[in-house]
Structure 1
Amino acid sequence: MSRLGSWFRGSTLKSSNDSSPSVSQVDLRAQSIALLQDAIAGADLIMNDDIDGAEEILKKGSSTYHSFASAVCVFMRSILGFEKAIMAEASSRLNECEASAWDEIKKAEKGSGSSSQAERIYPPGTEYQLVLAESYLMSAIIGVLHESLTEGIKSFYKMRKAYVALDAIMQAESASLKKRGLQPTPSKQAPKNAETHHHERMPGAFDDDADLEFLDADESHPGGQTPLQYEGHLANGNAEEAEKKLSDLTLNGGDNVEMAEPAQNSPPKSGLPESDIFADPIDAFVHSGASMCFGVLLLIISLVPPAFSRLLSIIGFRGDRERGIEMLWQSSQFENVNGAVAGLMLLAYYNGLLGFADILPLRGRRREGGLWRFEEARSRGNRKNLTGALEILKNNKSKMKQVDALNSFEMSLDLSYVRDWARARDEYIKCIELNDWSPSLYNYLAGCAELELYRNACLANPRDESRIRIHKKKTEDIFRKVPAAAGKKRFMARPLPFEEFVVRKLKKWEERSATLGLDLVDVIGVSPMQEMVYLWNGLKKMQPAELERAAGDLSWDRLTCSDEVRSKIRAEIDERALHDLCHAAILRNLEKFDEARAKLQEVLKLDKSAFKGPTKDDYIPPSAHYEMAVLAWVEGQTKTPSETKKTVDDCESWLDKVARWESYVLDGRIGMRVQTGMDTLRWYKREHSLSTP
Structure 2
Amino acid sequence: MLKALGFGKQSPSPSAGGHGEDERLSVLKEAVELEVSLRAMDLVMDDRPSEANKSLKEGKSTYNKLALGVINFIEATLGFEPEAIKLAVDSLYEAEQSSHRDRQKSQRTHLSTSSKFPPGTEYAVTMAEAHLLGAISLFLSESVIDSAKAFYKLRKAYQILDEVNGHVNSKGPGQNSNLSTASSSGKLSETTSRRSVASDEQLEQKARDLKFARSQRINRATNPSSETLIDESDGIEMAHESVDEFIQSGVDAMFGLLQLVISIIPPTLGRVLSLVGFRGDKEHGLKLLWRASGYSNVHGAIALLALLQFYDGPTQFSDIELPQKSPSNSSSGCEDSSSVNTTTSDITSVEDMELTKKKLETGLDRIRKFYPRGALWQLQEGRMVASKGDMPRAVEIMNDTSSGPIEMKQVEGLMLFDKTIMLVVLHEFETAAENFVRLVDLNSWSHAFYYYLSGACHVELYRQHKTSNPEYAAKHKKLATAAIEKAPTLVGKKRFMAKSMPFDMFVLRKTNQWKHTSQSEKVDLVDAIGTSPIHEVIYFWNGFCRMPKELLEKSLTYLAYSTNEQDPPIKETEDEQITRNLLQSVALRFLDRSSEGISLLDNHVLPKIWTPQPHKGHTKSGLPKVQYHKHHKDAYAGPSAIYERGIFEWKLNGLESVDRVKDYMELATAWADDYELSTRVGMKIKSATDRLETIHSS
TM-score bracket, normalised by the shorter chain, equals: 0.7 to 0.9
Deviations along 1:395-423, whole A, 9 cap, x unmatched?
24411111110111011101101111110
1:549 CA displacement? 2.1
SS across alignment from 1:605: helix
Residue in structure 1 matched with residue 53 of structure 2 by the alignment: 55
Supply the distance in 1 between the matched residues of 2:267 and 2:693 (Cα, whole angstroms): 14
Deviations along 1:271-299, whole A, 9 cap, x unmatched?
xxxxx999732121011112112222222
Distance 1:472 1:313, change over 3 A: same
Deviations along 1:46-68, whole A, 9 cap, x unmatched?
11111111110011211000011
TM-score, reference length from structure 1? 0.76
Q: 1:487-502 residue pairs with structure 2 within 5 A?
A: 487-502=492-507
Residue in structure 1 matched with residue 661 of structure 2 by the alignment: 651
Residue in structure 2 matched with residue 387 of structure 1 by the alignment: 392
Supply the distance in 1 between the matched residues of 2:393 and 2:148 (Cα, whole angstroms): 43
1:443 CA displacement? 0.9
Supply the distance in 2 between the matched residues of 1:367 and 1:308 (Cα, whole angstroms): 39
Distance 1:499 1:315, change over 3 A: farther
Structure 1 unaligned runs (5+)?
1-18, 183-250, 255-275, 638-643, 688-693
Q: Which amino acid aligns with 1:51?
A: P
Supply the distance in 2 between the matched residues of 1:486 and 1:554 (Cα, whole angstroms): 27
Distance 1:633 1:317, change over 3 A: farther
Distance 1:373 1:153, change over 3 A: same
**Are the counterparts in 1 of residues 531 and 562 from structure 2 also a CA contact under 8 Å?**
no
Distance 1:307 1:71, change over 3 A: same
% identical aligned pairs? 33
Distance 1:564 1:556, change over 3 A: closer
**Are the counterparts in 1 of residues 260 and 280 from structure 2 also a CA contact under 8 Å?**
yes
Supply the distance in 2 between the matched residues of 1:279 and 1:651 (Cα, whole angstroms): 54
Deviations along 1:444-472, whole A, 9 cap, x unmatched?
111111111111221323xx3x4333222
Residue in structure 2 matched with residue 411 of structure 1 by the alignment: 419
Q: Does 1:398 align with 2:406?
A: yes
Residue in structure 2 matched with residue 86 of structure 1 by the alignment: 84
1:174 to 159, 163, 169: 169
Residue in structure 1 matched with residue 468 of structure 2 by the alignment: 460
**Are the counterparts in 2 of residues 340 and 365 from structure 1 also a CA contact under 8 Å?**
no
1:554 CA displacement? 0.7
Q: Does 1:156 align with 2:143?
A: no
1:628 to 639, 642, 645: 645
1:612 CA displacement? 4.4
Supply the distance in 1 between the matched residues of 2:439 and 2:388 (Cα, whole angstroms): 25
Q: Does 1:603 align with 2:608?
A: no
Q: 1:499-578 residue pairs with structure 2 within 5 A?
A: 499-557=504-562, 563=567, 566=570, 568=571, 570=572, 572-578=573-579
SS across alignment from 2:675: coil
Q: Which amino acid aligns with 1:590?
A: L
Residue in structure 1 matched with residue 23 of structure 2 by the alignment: 25
Greater length-normalized contact order (CA 8 Å, ≥ 6 residues apart): 1
Residue in structure 2 matched with residue 189 of structure 1 by the alignment: none
Structure whose alpha-carbon radius of gyration is higher: 2
Q: 1:415-426 residue pairs with structure 2 within 5 A?
A: 415-426=423-434
Residue in structure 1 matched with residue 582 of structure 2 by the alignment: 581
Residue in structure 1 matched with residue 490 of structure 2 by the alignment: 485
Q: 1:422-461 residue pairs with structure 2 within 5 A?
A: 422-461=430-469
Deviations along 1:365-393, whole A, 9 cap, x unmatched?
22221111111111111111111111111
Deviations along 1:222-254, whole A, 9 cap, x unmatched?
xxxxxxxxxxxxxxxxxxxxxxxxxxxxx8469
SS across alignment from 1:460: coil
Deviations along 1:425-484, whole A, 9 cap, x unmatched?
1111111110011101111111111111111221323xx3x4333222211110111111
1:21 CA displacement? 5.5
Identify which range, 379-388 or 521-530, moves more after superposition. 379-388
Q: Does 1:334 align with 2:335?
A: no
Identify which range, 521-530 or 71-80, moves more after superposition. 71-80
Distance 1:324 1:636, change over 3 A: farther
Q: 1:294-305 residue pairs with structure 2 within 5 A?
A: 294-305=255-266
Identify which range, 342-351 or 649-658, moves more after superposition. 342-351
Q: Which amino acid aligns with 2:451?
A: N
**Are the counterparts in 1 of residues 102 and 120 from structure 2 also a CA contact under 8 Å?**
yes
1:666 to 661, 667, 677: 677
Supply the distance in 2 between the matched residues of 1:67 and 1:170 (Cα, whole angstroms): 23
Distance 1:547 1:468, change over 3 A: closer
Identify which range, 351-360 or 41-50, moves more after superposition. 351-360
Supply the distance in 2 between the matched residues of 1:252 and 1:590 (Cα, whole angstroms): 49
Deviations along 1:602-623, whole A, 9 cap, x unmatched?
322114599646x811111111
1:681 CA displacement? 2.2
Supply the distance in 2 between the matched residues of 1:292 and 1:652 (Cα, whole angstroms): 34
Supply the distance in 2 between the matched residues of 1:426 and 1:153 (Cα, whole angstroms): 41
Q: Which amino acid aligns with 2:511?
A: L
Q: Which amino acid aligns with 1:584?
A: S
Deviations along 1:584-630, whole A, 9 cap, x unmatched?
211222232222222222322114599646x8111111111221232
Q: Does 1:138 align with 2:141?
A: no
Supply the distance in 2 between the matched residues of 1:20 and 1:90 (Cα, whole angstroms): 42
Identify which range, 406-415 or 162-171, moves more after superposition. 162-171
Distance 1:304 1:590, change over 3 A: farther
Q: 1:104-143 residue pairs with structure 2 within 5 A?
A: 104-112=102-110, 115=111, 120-143=115-138
Supply the distance in 2 between the matched residues of 1:277 and 1:34 (Cα, whole angstroms): 10
Identify which range, 387-396 or 120-129, moves more after superposition. 120-129
1:563 CA displacement? 4.6
Deviations along 1:120-143, whole A, 9 cap, x unmatched?
433321211211221122222222
**Are the counterparts in 2 of residues 573 and 610 from structure 1 also a CA contact under 8 Å?**
no
Residue in structure 2 matched with residue 235 of structure 1 by the alignment: none
Supply the distance in 1 between the matched residues of 2:575 and 2:559 (Cα, whole angstroms): 15
**Are the counterparts in 2 of residues 306 and 659 from structure 1 also a CA contact under 8 Å?**
no
**Are the counterparts in 2 of residues 305 and 671 from structure 1 also a CA contact under 8 Å?**
no
Q: Which amino acid aligns with 1:166?
A: L
Identify which range, 421-430 or 308-317, moves more after superposition. 308-317
Supply the distance in 1 between the matched residues of 2:154 and 2:484 (Cα, whole angstroms): 39
Deviations along 1:304-353, whole A, 9 cap, x unmatched?
34444444444444433332222121011112221122223333334324
Distance 1:376 1:175, change over 3 A: closer
Q: Which amino acid aligns with 1:432?
A: V
SS across alignment from 1:364: helix
TM-score, reference length from structure 2? 0.75
Supply the distance in 1 between the matched residues of 2:148 and 2:576 (Cα, whole angstroms): 38
**Are the counterparts in 1 of residues 253 and 303 from structure 2 also a CA contact under 8 Å?**
yes
Deviations along 1:486-509, whole A, 9 cap, x unmatched?
112222221111111111111111
SS across alignment from 2:370: coil
2:687 to 676, 680, 693: 676
SS across alignment from 1:61: coil
Distance 1:116 1:534, change over 3 A: closer
Residue in structure 2 matched with residue 378 of structure 1 by the alignment: 383
SS across alignment from 2:529: coil
Supply the distance in 1 between the matched residues of 2:547 and 2:652 (Cα, whole angstroms): 20
Supply the distance in 2 between the matched residues of 1:484 and 1:469 (Cα, whole angstroms): 24
Supply the distance in 1 between the matched residues of 2:514 and 2:566 (Cα, whole angstroms): 16
Residue in structure 2 matched with residue 320 of structure 1 by the alignment: 281
Supply the distance in 1 between the matched residues of 2:430 and 2:18 (Cα, whole angstroms): 67
Aligned length: 563
**Are the counterparts in 2 of residues 122 and 176 from structure 1 also a CA contact under 8 Å?**
no
Supply the distance in 2 between the matched residues of 1:595 and 1:153 (Cα, whole angstroms): 51
1:151 CA displacement? 2.2
Q: Which amino acid aligns with 2:516?
A: E
Supply the distance in 1 between the matched residues of 2:417 and 2:524 (Cα, whole angstroms): 29
Residue in structure 2 matched with residue 292 of structure 1 by the alignment: 253
